[in-house]
Structure 1
Amino acid sequence: MAYYRRHIFFCTNRREGSDRPCCCDRGGQDARAYVKARVKALGLSGPGEVRVNAAGCLDRCEEGPVAVVYPEGTWYTWVDEEDLDELVDEHLVNGREVSRLKI
C-alpha cells in the first residue's frame, strides 16, 4: 500500500533572466498554499491520504501554472480558486480527473 493515496506536486519554480515563463510568477506558490490549506481543512492530509508538495521546475512552463497528481500522473493547469476547488473535490477527494483542467 502506498504511503499516500494521492500526491499532488505544484511547480513553484521561479525563473529569472529567461524568456521562458515560470509557474511562480503565474501563481504556483499561492495555488499550492491554497490547496494545502483546503486539503487540511477537509481532513485529507497525512499518511494514507493526500500530500500537497512544492516542486521545482516540472518543465511544462509554457502550459503553466502546472501541477501533477500521482499515482495517476495527471497534469493540470488552472485559472482561479474555483478551478482549484474543482480539482480538490473531483480528483483529490473522489478520484475523478477534471478533463477541462487537464493539460
Structure 2
Amino acid sequence: MRTHHRHIFMCVGPRCEPQEGRAQAVFEHMGKVIDEHPELAVKRTRTHCMVACRFEGPVVAVYPEGVWYQRVNEANAERIVHEHLLNGREVADLVFHRLGVGDTCEPGPK
C-alpha cells in the first residue's frame, strides 16, 4: 500500500443512488482526478451503505479530518479534490457531518 495522509471513503450504493452504477462511476472519476495530482497521498475506499443517505447521497467521508460530504457527483468530486484535498478548504455547501460535532445541517426533501 502506498503512503497516504488522507483516506476517503465513498458509498457506492445501492440505496444512496437510484441509478445503478452511478455512484461507482463517480468513485472512479474521483480516482482519476486524484491521480492527476501525484503530490496527493490519498487512499480511496469504496463502501456500501454508510447509513447516512437520509441526506443526499452519494456520501464521501474524508479522514483524518472527519468531514462528510453529501450530493457527490462528478463535479462535486472535483471540487472536493481541488478545494479540500489540494487547498485545505472544506467544500462547505456539501458538508453535512463532522467528526466530533455531528450533523451540521438538516436533511433536505427527498
The TM-score by the shorter chain falls in which range?
0.7 to 0.9
Q: Does 1:54 align with 2:46?
A: yes
1:101: which partner in 2?
94
**Higher relative contact order at CA 8 Å, sep ≥6: structure 1 or structure 2?**
1
Amino acid at match of 1:11: C
Contact 1:65–1:77 (Cα < 8 Å) also in 2: yes
Give the alignment of 1:7-86 within 5 angstroms. 7-14=7-14, 22-25=15-18, 27-44=22-39, 49-63=41-55, 64-78=57-71, 80-86=73-79
Q: Percent identical across equivalent pairs?
A: 35
Amino acid at match of 1:32: F
If each structure's strand is expressed as a fraction of its own residues, which one has the higher value? 2
The alignment's C-alpha RMSD in Å is 1.8
5+ residue gaps, structure 2, are: 97-110
If each structure's helix is expressed as a fraction of its own residues, which one has the higher value? 1
Contact 2:4–2:42 (Cα < 8 Å) also in 1: yes
- Summarize the Cα distance change of 1:79–1:53 in structure 2 as closer, same or farther, 3 Å threshold: closer
Q: Offset at 1:73?
A: 0.7
Report the count of equivalent residues: 91
Contact 2:60–2:72 (Cα < 8 Å) also in 1: no
TM-score, normalization: structure 1?
A: 0.76
User: Structure 1: which 4+ aligned runs deviate by more than 6 Å?
Assistant: none
TM-score, normalization: structure 2?
A: 0.72
5+ residue gaps, structure 1, are: 15-21
Q: Offset at 1:81?
A: 2.3
